[in-house]
Every structure is written in C-alpha cells, then in structure tokens.
Amino acid sequence: MPVQTTAPDASRALTLSTVSFTICFAVWTIFSIIGLQIRDQLSLSDTQFGLLVGMPILSGSLVRLGLGVMTDRLGGRLVYTLTMLAAALATFLLGWAATYAQMLVAALGVGLAGGSFAVGVAYVSRFYGADRQGTALGIFGVGNVGAAVTKFAAPFVMFAVGWQATAHIWAGVLALTAILFWVLSKEDPVTAARRGAAAPARSFREEFAPLKNGQVWRFAAYYFFSFGAFVALALWLPHYLIGVYGFDMRMAGIVGAAYSIPASIFRAYGGVLSDRIGARTVLYMTFAVSLVATAILSMPATVPTWIFLTVIFTLGFFMSLGKAAVYKHIPNYYPQNVGAVGGLVGMIGGLGGFILPLLFGWLKDQTGLWSSCFMVLFVLVACCAVWMHLSIARMSRAQLSQTA
C-alpha cells in the first residue's frame, strides 16, 4: 500500500513519537538510578541488583512483538497511547512496593514503556517513503536519550524526595505525555486508508510469515549487540564507575548520562549514513570499531580513567550508528510487516538489555573481574561480524551464479 501523506503530517508524527519515546525510555531505565538506593535499602547482591535492573528490560522486550503486530492491525496512535498509560500506572504503583518480590513484579509493568519502541517504528515508518525511512527512524531512535535524562535528573530528585516519589513523578510525566500524544497526533495513512476502505484485516499467519526467514533473525542478532549492549551498559555503567573508579553516585549518574546522550543522538546520524552509503557499510564499521573497543576494555588490569572514558564513548557512538543501520533494513525488506519484523528484532535486542546486565552481575560475583562484562561483549560482536560477513559472501556467490 503506497504511503500518501503530507510533509507536515510526517513531521508531526515523527516529533510526537520521538518525544514520547524519550519519556518512555526515561521511565524504562529508571531502575538504573533508583535501583542503587533500593539495593542499599534491601542489601542486594550484584546478581539481585542485575535482576532488578533488568526486569523492566525483559518485559519491555517480550511485549514488542505483540505490540508491533497490534500496531500493524490497529494503528500506532491507539496502541502507543494505551501502552504509555499502562506503563505510567505500573510506575506509579512501583512507589508503593516494599519488598524485593513486589518490586520485581512492579518492574514487569514498568517495562511496558520499553515496548513502545516497536509501536513507534511501525507508526513513523508509514509516514515516509523508502528513501527517507532510515533518517526518520534514526531520528525516532534518538529517544534513547531518555536514559540520559534519567541518569542526569533522577539522582538529584531521588536524593531530594526519595526513590518512591521519583517513581511517582516519572509516572505522572509519562501519563501526561500519553494524553498529549493522543490529542495532538493523527492516524497513520495506512491505517486511515484501511479503515476508509473497510478492508479485511490480514490473518495472523500473514502477520508472522516473515519471521520464518533466517535473515530476520540475523538482523535480530545485530540488534542484540547494537541496542541490547547499549542498554546493558547504560544500566551497568554507574555501578561500574562506582565500583572500579570510586565515583560517587551523582558523578556516576552524570557520566552515565554523558555516555547515553551522544550514543542516542548520533543514532539519527546513523540513519542518514544508512540512507547515503548503505546500512551494510555502516554495520561493518560498527562491528570493526566495537571489536577493538571491547578488546581494550576487556583487559583485566584497570584501564586508566581517561582511556576508559574515551573508549566507552567511542563504543557508544558506533553502537548508535549500528542501531540505526539495523532498522534501515526492515522497511526496505519487509514493508508490509514492519510491526512484526521490527517487533521481533526489537524484542531480541531488548532481551540483550535484560540478559547482559544479569550476566554482568553473575560474572562479577563469580570471577571478581569487573572487566568480564566487556569480555562478553567482545565475543558477542565477534559472532555478529562473522555471521554477517559469511552471509554477505554467500549472497554474493548466489548472485554471481545467477548472472553467469
């Protein structure tokens, strides 16, 4: 179905979706800050802390596939609004949790905020043609900067009013965002045309059919690193800086915010690059630099602070390019199934944000090595780089045989 929309409508959809996703991401990563006070209050181990921080990432990842499909069927305007309202309610109730078990349950509901990514991708992509989707989705992905908003602002709010009130404030802002989005947004052109024509909805088998392609799962693996590892580091970095370099909580939060901001903003540049030089080239660059960066950070001896910060910022920058490059592929290869395919890729990437912090905490408890987290990332990016190169080589050989 061709996209028929005006430039103002497209700009409005992109702006509203990006602002909303920024607030959602700020809520989604709230445990990276309030979790530090909760850890001290409940005397949690590193593994328990990793589970608490990762629980919203788990639920926010698992719901992405379902939310993506529902967006394809019902439209992003409705699904986005309801998702934000549900996440706001869960975040408000979190402030009343008293035990570790209650906090884990509440964290599952907070994770709905992260599921909004799949909704926004499907919604925004319908307002743009193929030649501009990389740029548009890259700009939308800048909403990752919400992690920096939380890391910068939440420590000061938390020390002033406590972690419970911080959760209530973040919930109120998200609820207000949901209302404004509903009032100011318009239905995407595909959903509007479908309703106007009273066309029958596609079957669920048609919605999920592309997920049988191995290519989709390869894209998901790339996103497991480029996004999942970004989220994991955004959550783990304050804890790492305190434990390794002796930063206080406020300074660790500021540095964590400084890491998240460029790694998020430059996702838009990654979208532009993907439109100009191709997403494949951008991914090659991402994996090459990431291999070097994670190798340096994997050294068991403590890397000097200035070297650590330089390398971690460089890693974050190239991760941001890679995130945009992955999503440039999806509307190009699967224009009718952006919700399902984007939802699956986002789900796998989000699972990386859950699994990796938990693995980081477990490895630290078992080995005592803080740098073990970067050893894991080195292996992960090496596997992605090899898989991509072998797949591209196989496709090139197939194309040569067809033209021979």
Q: Which is nearest to 24 in space by CA: 189, 121, 147?
A: 147
DSSP assignment string, 200-238: PPPPHHHHHGGGGSHHHHHHHHHHIIIIIIHHHHHHHHH
**pTM, 2 dp:** 0.77
Quote the tokens at residue 351: 């699972």
382: exposed, middle or buried (C-beta count within 10 Å: 0-12, 13-18, 19+)?
middle
Cβ atoms within 10 Å, residue 393:
10
When the pLDDT of each residue in the chain is averaged and rounded to a whole number, the result is: 86
The pLDDT value recorded for residue 294 is: 96
Q: For 306-318, what is each residue's pLDDT tens digit?
A: 899 999 999 999 9
Is the pLDDT confidence value at 295 over 90?
yes
Is the pLDDT confidence value at 220 over 50?
yes
DSSP assignment string, 370-385: TTHHHHHHHHHHHHHH
Distance of alpha carbon 247 from alpha carbon 259, whole angstroms: 15
Quote the tokens at residue 116: 């909004």
Q: Average pLDDT for residues 207-224, to the nearest whole number?
A: 84
Q: Average pLDDT for residues 243-268, to the nearest whole number?
A: 80
Is the pLDDT confidence value at 2 over 70?
no
The pLDDT value recorded for residue 257 is: 73
Highest mean pLDDT: which range of 19-33, 42-56, 388-402: 19-33
Q: Average pLDDT for residues 81-99, to the nearest whole number?
A: 94
Is the pLDDT confidence value at 66 over 50?
yes
Domains and CATH numbers, the chain: 11-187+212-399 (1.20.1250.20)
Of 166-180, 200-214, 310-324, 367-381, the poorest mean pLDDT is in 200-214
For residue 182, what pLDDT band results from cuts at 50, 70 and 90? very high
Is the pLDDT confidence value at 253 over 80?
no
Distance of alpha carbon 66 from alpha carbon 138, whole angstroms: 22
Quote the tokens at residue 378: 């080195």
Q: Percent of the chain, pLDDT > 70?
A: 94
The full 3-state SS of 69-82, as one line of letters, equals HHHHHHCHHHHHHH
Q: For 120-142, what is each residue's pLDDT tens digit?
A: 988 998 888 877 878 888 889 88
Residues 203, 206, 207, 211: is their CA dihedral positive or negative? positive
Distance of alpha carbon 57 from alpha carbon 287, whole angstroms: 24
> What CA–CA distances, in Å, run from 211 to 4, 37, 63, 69, 176?
27, 41, 16, 12, 35
